[in-house]
Structures are given as structure tokens and as C-alpha cells.
Amino acid sequence: MKCYFRLFLKKLFLFIIICNSIFNVVTGTVPPAHDWIPNEMILDRTEIPKNILLGVTIGGWSHLRHILTIANILTDRGYNVTLTKRGNFTQSQQYPKIKFISLGEKLDLSKDLEIKHLVNEKVDTGRFKAVFKNHYAAYESIFLKLKEVAETIKPDLFFCDTLNNEPCFDVAWLMKKPLVGISTTLLGLTHVPYRSDPIFGCKVNMENESFWERFRCEFITPFQFLWSYKSSFENFNKIRANYGLPSLKTPTERWQNSLFLIDSFFGFETPISLPPLYQEIGPVLPDYFPPLTPDVEKFLNSHKRTMFVALGSYLFLSAENNAKLLQSIIEVIENNIVDGVIWANIEKYRESFPSSITLSDGRIISTSNIFDNKNPNIFMTSFAPQFSILNHTNTKIFLSHSGSGSIYESLYAGTPILALPITYDQPGNAEKLESAGVALTLDKTNLDVNDIVNKVERILNDEQIQISTKRLKTLAMINSKRKYRAADLIEFTLYSSVLKQKNTIDESDNNVEKWLFKELITPDTRMGLIRGKYLDVYTAALAIIVSIILLSIFIIKNLIFGKLFKIKKSKDKND
């Protein structure tokens, strides 16, 4: 009896401990004693200036995801945010407090021959020459428009996307306002030798590459790449000189001492050590997503193993590849590998599909029936609430171009990916996904129906892929909270700029960034190459070690020779 009572007490005690720990974890606000006072962070924002200008040049809505999500947090905190971008767009429902201003005509990529080449061919660094030329040719008009907008808005801070965005950096510099950059990639920001990119015809992670491959990717291809933009870059500097802008040696020179927010996360990104000026804050995902439309929901609920196909709104596939993809989609369903496919955003390319598709077994299927949604297992839609589809339990696989926005949504929702990268950052993203174990990759220059069918089957059945997907889902979820940190850092930069204005004593330092971001700038950048890298100290240490070794050799040699000599001498004497 006593024994039972003790057991009961023990169980009760355990129960209390467990309840207590769960309660603490969930709420986290239980005071240790009843009269303890909570510590609430109340930031005094009265002195912080409130006007922020966002600068983005290219890309569709998906390229605005990170910058607008962070800006939305800032508008909630009372900041006035204006987004400037090329193209004709209307006020967004999702971001009602952000003001939009157009910087002129949107680029029509489908007419750009160079983009067409990038879309259809293998990477060829030489081809970038023309891409850079077109890009820098557009500089002047955007710069002038942005300058005009900025002069009326008078922003206190510029928040610029790094991608092709020289006008934003230059206008910030001209107006002597702080600049915070945001980028989905570390490429071009910081250099580590074991990291490269398919854009240079190399691997993202050079870990297991041969000596020659590492040499080629460290020295040869980057120089080819630099060479391909050299002439247009010189021209670009000439145009800038007309507006009193100092000549830049490299495209990244302007932001050397500024804060950069990196919308990525280790787990997806190859791990490297980052300087404090580059803060990893991704994956940035919005708080709200459009819900499933009734027709998509109905389709998903009646197809337990659905594949979602979306290749972005920005780049496109060749007609031949579109036909192969459609054939693969029909065959994965016919082979019962999946039971349904939703293909988004393809209606507008309907013209580029053949009127019929011949399957591997010789049967002929009419394309127009599929586009008119007459096949009960294939659903074509021009609007797709992507995250809600990926997040649905019946969506088992995502065939994606592996743009960063789509990838983050898929990782967060825990849906494995079949990547069909087209160009720019996409091949690199696909490689990172594959090495994280959550994806397989298709080759746009050698698309093969059997290969697609096999890979879909492998992704659905491979236990390793399912485990890695869960792992990355958790990492994506916990890291997605860092968007608030991104907003905090922008607030601090604004506050720091006010304090700088008050700080009139320190006149000697006219480089604003060096003051604004002084907590983040590592001392080695001020120490020069030799002292910064401690080359002087290491050289001295090496000299000392070498001297000691030489001296030891000398002494040992003398000792041995001396002894031998003595022995010889005494031998001679004896003789």
C-alpha cells in the first residue's frame, strides 16, 4: 500500500514537472516568483526618422517578396515606405500601406535575344557581354527617374535590392543617405575560394573538385566574366561622371562598408563564415498568403498524390522543352506515379505547344483538350496560390525553376522539389537543393521524358529525401523569424544616422558608412592588407622558425663532423 502511494507521488511529481516545462516553453512568460516584474523591450522611436525608399529594378512580384515583407513590418512600426520599380503596377492588396512609384517601362524579356539564348543554351560566360551592355544602357534613364523621385520624397534611408541596382546605390550616395542592401545570394558580396557558381560554369561547392577545376574556377572563369563586362562598365562610369559620380573600380565598390541583409540560410546555402556586415536573415516569407481557390481546392482534395508545376513568371522554356514536359506530365499520371498535376502560369505560352503530343507507347493526345482542362487529372491555371498549394497535404512534389522565392515556400511547406533551372541564380539554387538532399535536378539542354518520369518516382519514394525535407522545413521555419531582425537592423541604421548628425565632434571622418556601421566593420579592413591579414607577424614567425631549423642543422652538423674528425684524428694518432 505504502509502495503504491509512493509510486503515485512519484508519478504526480513527474506530471507536474512535465506540465510545468510544457507551460513554460509555450508561454515563456511565467514569472519565477509572484512579485517579479517582466522585462519588456520598449524602443523609443520618437527620434528615429521615418522615411524609407525601396529600390528594385528587375523581376516580377516574386522578386519583391523579401523587400516588401520586411518593409511591411516597418510600415506596421510607423514608417513611411515607398517602393520604386520599373513597370506598370498597381497598389498591392497585400501591402496596402506601401506606396508604389513606377520608374518607367518594364523590360520585355521575351524580345531580348540574349535572354532567349540564356534560356535555351548552356552557360557561356562570353554571352554575358551583351547582357551587361543592355543592363548598363538602361542605367541612365532609371538613375534620373529615381533621383527625381528621391528628391521629392526625401528618404532618410535607401533599402536597395542588389540585383542590377546601381541607380539605387548611386542616388543614396549622392543624397548622403544610409544604404541597406538586400540580396538572395552571397555571390559578389564575399569571396571564399571553395564556393563558386554555375554562372561561371563551376560548382557551387568546390569541396570535391580536382586541382585543375579549382584552379579554373578560382582564376580563369571569374576573369573571363570580368572581361565580359569590362567595356560596358567603362562606358557606365563615363555616363555616371556626367552626374558628378566618382568612377567605380568594381560594381560592388559602392556598398563595401554598408549593411547587407542576406535572404538565405545555411542548410540551403553552402556554409561559409560571413563578415558581420552581411547578416543572414532568410528565408523571408510573408505572414499572409492567398488561400486556395475553390477549383484548385477541389482538385487537390480529390488527388492524393499531386505534382505542382510552376516555372516562374519571368523566364520561359523553349517550345521543344514545353512539349517534353507536357508529355512527361501525362506519362507520370498514366504510370500512376502521381494521380494529379497542377500546372500554373502556362496558359500564356499555349501558342508554343504542339497541337498534339505523342506518348512513349505511340498514343496521340490532343493538347487543346488538356489546356481546356478536359483531362480530369491535369489542371491548368493562370493564377495559382502557390504557397497554399505547396502547403496542402496532397501536394507531394514541386516541379520548379528553382527561383529563390518558390524554393523557400516549398522548403517551408516541406514539399520536395524536382528542379528545372533555367538561368541566373537558378542552376546554383538547384545544386544547393540537391546537395541538401531535398531535390533532384533536370537539365534544360538535355530534357528527357524517361529521366523526368524516373526522377518524379524517386523523389516520391526515397526515404532519404523525405527525411532531409523535414529537416530543412524545420530550419526554414525557425529561420523565417529573422525578418523581424532585418527590420530591427534597418531601424537601428536610421537611428544611427540621426546620432551621426548630432555627433559633430567627429568631423575628421567624412565616410558616413564607417560611422553608421562601425559595430559591424571588422578591424582588419582598416589595418591594410599586411597588418590586417597578420602577414608581418606570420612572416616574422616563419623567419624565426626557419632560422632555428637552419641553426640546429648547422650545430648538429658541426657536432657530428667535429666528433668524426676527432675520432679520425685519434685513429690517425693510434696508427
Does the protein bind ligand NAG through residue 152 (CB under 6 A)?
Answer: no
d(CA 557, CA 559): 5
Min dist. Cβ of residue 313 to ligand NAG (A): 16
Q: Where are the alpha helices (DSSP H) in 391-482?
A: 404-413, 426-435, 449-461, 463-479
Which C-beta is closer to ligand NAG: that of 311 or that of 494? 494
Contact 62, 387 (CB under 8 A): no
Min dist. Cβ of residue 495 to ligand NAG (A): 14
Residue range at the interface with ligand NAG (CB under 6 A); choices 1-9, 35-43, 160-168, 200-208: 200-208
Does the protein bind ligand NAG through residue 141 (CB under 6 A)?
Answer: no
Q: DSSP string of 241-274?
A: HTTTPPPPSSTTGGGTTSEEEE---BTTBPP---
d(CA 312, CA 66): 16
Min dist. Cβ of residue 206 to ligand NAG (A): 8
Min dist. Cβ of residue 78 to ligand NAG (A): 7
Cα pseudo-dihedral 335, 338, 340, 346, rounded to 10: -90
d(CA 261, CA 430): 22
Longest dimension (CA), the chain: 115
Contact 440, 459 (CB under 8 A): yes
Does the protein bind ligand NAG through residue 80 (CB under 6 A)?
Answer: yes
Residue range at the interface with ligand NAG (CB under 6 A); choices 202-210, 277-285, 493-501, 531-539: 202-210
Closest listed residue to residue 178, CA positions, set 64, 254, 262, 275? 254
Does the protein bind ligand NAG through residue 224 (CB under 6 A)?
Answer: no
Residues in region 425-444 near ligand NAG by CB under 6 A? 435
Which C-beta is closer to ligand NAG: that of 360 or that of 435? 435
Angle at 222 between CA 221 and CA 227, to 5 degrees: 95
Residue tagged 512519484 (cell numbers): 10
Long-range contacts of 344-347 (CB under 8 A, 24+ apart): 344/308, 344/309, 344/310, 344/381, 344/382, 344/383, 344/384, 344/386, 344/389, 345/310, 345/311, 345/312, 345/313, 345/381, 345/382, 345/384, 346/309, 346/311, 346/322, 346/380, 347/371, 347/380, 347/381, 347/382
Does the protein bind ligand NAG through residue 207 (CB under 6 A)?
Answer: yes
Residue range at the interface with ligand NAG (CB under 6 A); choices 129-137, 205-213, 455-463, 534-542: 205-213
Beta-carbon-side half-sphere exposure of residue 167 (alpha carbons within 13 Å) = 26
Min dist. Cβ of residue 289 to ligand NAG (A): 5
Residues in region 33-62 near ligand NAG by CB under 6 A? 50-51
Residues in region 389-428 near ligand NAG by CB under 6 A? 391
Which C-beta is closer to ligand NAG: that of 79 or that of 316? 79
Long-range contacts of 6-11 (CB under 8 A, 24+ apart): none
Size of the site for ligand NAG (CB under 6 A): 12
Min dist. Cβ of residue 89 to ligand NAG (A): 8
Which C-beta is closer to ligand NAG: that of 255 or that of 265? 265
Which C-beta is closer to ligand NAG: that of 222 or that of 286? 286
Q: Which of 27, 208, 336, 504 binds ligand NAG (CB under 6 A)?
A: 208
For residue 341, the SS3 value is strand
Q: Which of 100, 194, 289, 371 binds ligand NAG (CB under 6 A)?
A: 289
Q: What is the x/- site pattern for ligand NAG, positions 237-256, by CB under 6 A?
A: --------------------
Which C-beta is closer to ligand NAG: that of 203 or that of 254? 203
Min dist. Cβ of residue 356 to ligand NAG (A): 35
Which C-beta is closer to ligand NAG: that of 88 or that of 93? 88
d(CA 270, CA 265): 9
Which C-beta is closer to ligand NAG: that of 27 or that of 152? 152
Q: What residues contact residue 512 under an 8 Å CB cut-off, 6+ apart?
A: 176, 178, 497, 500
Contact 316, 110 (CB under 8 A): yes
Closest listed residue to residue 441, CA positions, set 423, 424, 429? 429
Min dist. Cβ of residue 86 to ligand NAG (A): 11
Min dist. Cβ of residue 115 to ligand NAG (A): 22
Closest listed residue to residue 434, CA positions, set 465, 476, 460, 473? 465
Min dist. Cβ of residue 19 to ligand NAG (A): 24
Q: What is the x/- site pattern for ligand NAG, positions 85-114, by CB under 6 A?
A: ---x-------------x------------
Does the protein bind ligand NAG through residue 466 (CB under 6 A)?
Answer: no
Residue 403 identity (one-letter amino acid) = G
Closest listed residue to residue 333, CA positions, set 180, 460, 208, 225? 460
Min dist. Cβ of residue 75 to ligand NAG (A): 10
Residues that bind ligand NAG (CB under 6 A): 50-51, 80, 88, 102, 205, 207-208, 289, 388, 391, 435
